[in-house]
Structure 1
Amino acid sequence: MRDAEVNWTGVTRQMEIDMSYAVSRLDWTDTSLGTIPTPRGQLALRASFGSGLTTRAGDPPGRVWAVCDRGPNLKVKIAMERYGLDLLAPLADVPGAKIMPDPSIGPTLAELQIAGDTVTLLRTIRLVDESGHPVLGLPDASSGHVVLEPVFDIQGQPIGPSQLGLDTEGIAALASGGFWIGDEFAPGLVRVDADGRIVHRLVPRRVDHAGIEGGEPGLPAIAARRQINRGFEALALSGDERSLFLAFQSPLAHPDEDAHRRARHVRFWRLDAETGEVTDQYLYPLDRPKSFRRDRMLGPFGREDIKVSEIAWIPDNGLLVLERGSATTKLYRVELDPQSILKPEHLDIRTRLTLEEMSAANDSALPVLAKHLLFSNDDIPEMSADLEGMAFLSPTDLLLVNDNDFGVEGAKTSFWRIRFDDPLWS
């Protein structure tokens, strides 16, 4: 039986779910990006478009836009164990070190067409800066006020930062033809035109020695307190395109990493899409680690392993949230209740206690978003791990895709359609 014909129907055993649905895998083949010789054979690179999905108002039915992340990268331990790159051993104890086997492969968009059970790649669009130079997936030199990930080439030599490095994750398509794209590095936001050229960028404002934010346009300085490699991964645009929604991947490391590890909530922001100003801030409660059954079967799994990887706009002021570990993926609906909006003081980097400290202490005074479980893949073991991209094809049809990490560990891209029996909006 072909993968595209595999189908599961039913309601999961989790009593919280009251939606019935059918799940099917769509037909897709990754494009080869070449191979790199290593002591243990070829490192095969594949196209990767699973970091974010979106649809555009006015496009033909089944048209979807996707974004890849920064480019192929490996943890040092995996590079040594899988590919025999023992020359990287001196980097094994470098915190957060990543190996980029081909730094020339960088942030790229893809235009896709869904027809029946098949996904077809129509074209790709490489992101370029204002001068037309390709954007690289290297650490961003303009964001020196945040902790940057150390990056090395396949020979173990350090790779310097880029003047405009992006780790592209979330994507939202504008009816005018451009896109908003979330960046995990800075973390930041970029707006690009229909040809992939950057026309506007928002990064965290800097603070002076007294902790006071600068007055330049940008995101609240508190965004720079994101845990390393846990910036913006989830991005959505309201139906009228007046509001842009962002979700941090994890709790901020604010005021320190201990708060990040212990906090139970993730910040969601609503931005004015015209000015880029944060108008509302919400707290999304993460599930308990023990509820991620597929992940717990694979080994130790803690709160720090839980991530918000995607959000999608639901008309009538709601969001669909993709909360996951690695193997377990859950989909929650949240309503953006005005009573859940946090006080403006919690956007100030100087405020103490911080939201993360209050979250870690389980402060019941914090207003949080109510969440309603619609789907969990814990009862569908055939479904891919590392699901990151998500977009509505219709009020009943949802498209999901995994991030194959450019195939550096042998993973392949898999697109999945969830068809709910009842529409999620009217």
Structure 2
Amino acid sequence: MKKPILLCVGLFILNSCDYIDDFIGQGPGTVSVSPSEVLETNTQYPLPYAVLNTINGDVEVRNGGFGSGATAHPTEEAEFYAITDRGPNTDYLDGKKFPVAEYTPRIGHYTVTSSGKIELLDEILLKDPTGKTITGIPNPEGKGATGEIPYDAYGNAIPFDDYGLDSEGIVALKDGTFWVSDEYGPHIVHYTANGIQLERISPIGVNEGTGDRKLPAVFAKRRANRGMEGLAITPDEKTLVGIMQSTLYNPEKIQSNVTRIVTFDLETGYTRQYVYVQEKANLSNSEITAISNTEFLVIERDGKFAGEGPAQKHIYKINLNGATDISGNNPKDENGLMIGDKTIEQLTVQELAAANIIPVQKELVVDLVAEFGYAHDKLEGIWIMNNNTLAFINDDDFAVSDNDGDGVIEQKILPGGSDIDASSLYMVKTNFK
């Protein structure tokens, strides 16, 4: 049964650690080890969580939410990072209702202990260049707006956030800093180890103190809530590689299986673009991680639970070598490269071939539903644990859902039972090299 939103602001204090003291830090005598030594493959290991709030007595809003993106720790095999998105939200009128509007997107730093327990070592809250915590509230016009109007829990319009982020992709560098991609601008943001913004790169010129480093202008055509869902960095840490979740609305709303990958040279700011063809239109490219400087793994999925019928949770290996750079001659062109009077998104796969545009090579590595019945809807985090083991985390939407888009929150339950969806670590053995 659906429950109306009844929130008390006093129940949630953003910067308080009272709710999470029991979940942060290693307990006495725990030792971190390689997860593949103590955890079973094809098995669910829920991440620890705290309850942010309880709605109407029995619907838990959890913190939770870690799994919009995930990445390996660059030096410690037992550790990994997972990131939240903008926070709990539901569709409402012409935008989104944010029942915890003060929520700050954050990075969770986890370890696996010798007893097989997953522990949250730290939460890194994302901040603006002055050190002030940001929110997940949308950006205003000129700063990355998607057209979504933000509302609080009671349906009152609330101010936009210049630095708001709907974070999705994450990479961790050896110097301790992070790069994060999002679904607003889309932005790619560089953060310190403490979460303070160093640089923000976008297609719309919101950069601060970074010269003219930008994403190509065409990426501002992203579909709302389907922006730069995945982010990787090459093993030499020289190039960021971002993948768009779905087809750009270029020049208008389009249903297509043609999506884009962009590479960004961190030294020069030079970008390249490539076509990634989904199995069918309207799927989601949820994450990308690097095997080498040219080979990557991509999550391509639908939004279904396996318990609801056929569901796609596929991992593909792709290779940028041999693919056509579709950047064109002018990265400031809002429509990008044109073939005749059509944008790349308006072309069929056959028309792309006729124009001598070669998409990235792509081969299926593993079908997680067929492999072990992967149950979750939003498979969104992936990293390489070792030479034959991949690790995955799902986004549990803070354990709440709004199935009818009417702004009424209910518990997010896995089909066929009463289990609450939970961000969980899984591992699978597979040959991806």
Partner of 2:234: 238
Verify: 1:34 aligned to 2:26, yes or no. no
Partner Cα distance (1:25, 1:284) in 2: 30
Q: 1:394 to 1:230 in 2, by over 3 A?
A: same
Partner of 1:277: 270
Verify: 1:221 aligned to 2:217, yes or no. yes
Q: 1:343 to 1:47 in 2, by over 3 A?
A: closer
Shift of 1:360: 7.1
Verify: 1:318 aligned to 2:295, yes or no. yes
Q: 1:419 to 1:224 in 2, by over 3 A?
A: same
CA offsets 1:185-206 (integer angstroms, 9 cap, x no match): 1111100011110011111135
Partner Cα distance (1:318, 1:252) in 2: 23
For the 8 Å contact 2:316–2:364, the answer to whether it is kept is: yes
Match of 1:414 among 399, 403, 424: 424
Of stretches 182-191 and 372-381 in structure 1, the one that deviates more from structure 2 is: 372-381
Query: What's the TM-score once normalised by structure 1's chain length?
Result: 0.78
For the 8 Å contact 2:322–2:358, the answer to whether it is kept is: no
Shift of 1:47: 2.2
Q: 1:349 to 1:29 in 2, by over 3 A?
A: same
> What SS does the aligned partner of 2:352 have?
coil
Q: Which amino acid aligns with 1:60?
A: E
Q: 1:270 to 1:217 in 2, by over 3 A?
A: closer
Partner Cα distance (2:216, 2:386) in 1: 34
Q: Which amino acid aligns with 1:45?
A: R
Partner of 1:389: 381
Q: 1:254 to 1:149 in 2, by over 3 A?
A: same
Shift of 1:46: 3.1
Shift of 1:342: 2.8
Verify: 1:337 aligned to 2:321, yes or no. yes
Q: 1:360 to 1:163 in 2, by over 3 A?
A: same
Shift of 1:63: 0.9
Partner Cα distance (1:56, 1:341) in 2: 31
> What SS does the aligned partner of 1:224 have?
helix
Match of 2:71 among 49, 54, 64: 54
Which aligned pairs between 1:8-407 and structure 2 lie closer than 5 A? 23-37=42-56, 41-57=58-74, 59-76=75-92, 91=93, 94=94, 97-115=95-113, 117-141=116-140, 143-144=142-143, 146-205=145-204, 216-257=212-253, 260-261=254-255, 263-278=256-271, 280-288=272-280, 303-304=281-282, 306-315=283-292, 317-327=294-304, 328-342=312-326, 344-345=328-329, 347=331, 348-350=333-335, 351-352=337-338, 353-359=342-348, 362-365=351-354, 366-379=357-370, 380-407=372-399
Q: How many residues align?
A: 356
Partner Cα distance (2:236, 2:350) in 1: 38
Of stretches 337-346 and 158-167 in structure 1, the one that deviates more from structure 2 is: 337-346
Q: 1:229 to 1:197 in 2, by over 3 A?
A: same
For the 8 Å contact 2:286–2:301, the answer to whether it is kept is: yes
For the 8 Å contact 1:37–1:43, the answer to whether it is kept is: no
Q: 1:197 to 1:281 in 2, by over 3 A?
A: same
For the 8 Å contact 2:236–2:293, the answer to whether it is kept is: no
Q: 1:22 to 1:163 in 2, by over 3 A?
A: closer
Unaligned runs of 5+ in 2: 1-39, 305-311, 402-411, 413-420
Partner Cα distance (1:125, 1:229) in 2: 23
For the 8 Å contact 2:144–2:204, the answer to whether it is kept is: no
For the 8 Å contact 2:64–2:422, the answer to whether it is kept is: no
Partner of 2:24: none
Q: Which amino acid aligns with 1:344?
A: G
For the 8 Å contact 2:251–2:343, the answer to whether it is kept is: yes
Partner Cα distance (2:217, 2:229) in 1: 18
Q: Which amino acid aligns with 1:404?
A: D
Partner Cα distance (2:266, 2:90) in 1: 35
For the 8 Å contact 2:139–2:145, the answer to whether it is kept is: no
> What SS does the aligned partner of 2:347 have?
helix
CA offsets 1:8-27 (integer angstroms, 9 cap, x no match): xxxxxxxxxxxxx9522225
Partner Cα distance (2:144, 2:393) in 1: 33
> What SS does the aligned partner of 1:356 have?
helix
Shift of 1:343: 5.1
Shift of 1:386: 0.9
Q: 1:346 to 1:355 in 2, by over 3 A?
A: farther
Shift of 1:99: 1.3
For the 8 Å contact 1:322–1:331, the answer to whether it is kept is: yes
Identical pairs, percent: 29
Unaligned runs of 5+ in 1: 1-20, 77-90, 208-214, 289-302
Partner Cα distance (1:22, 1:109) in 2: 25
> What SS does the aligned partner of 2:188 have?
strand
Partner Cα distance (2:61, 2:277) in 1: 39
CA offsets 1:320-340 (integer angstroms, 9 cap, x no match): 000000232100001111443
Shift of 1:363: 3.3
> What SS does the aligned partner of 1:223 have?
helix
For the 8 Å contact 2:203–2:215, the answer to whether it is kept is: yes
CA offsets 1:289-338 (integer angstroms, 9 cap, x no match): xxxxxxxxxxxxxx22x010100001262010000002321000011114
Of stretches 408-417 and 104-113 in structure 1, the one that deviates more from structure 2 is: 408-417
CA offsets 1:174-226 (integer angstroms, 9 cap, x no match): 1111000001111111000111100111111359xxxxxxx943211111111
Partner of 1:211: none
Partner Cα distance (1:287, 1:168) in 2: 25
Shift of 1:412: 1.6
Partner Cα distance (1:340, 1:307) in 2: 22
Shift of 1:42: 4.0
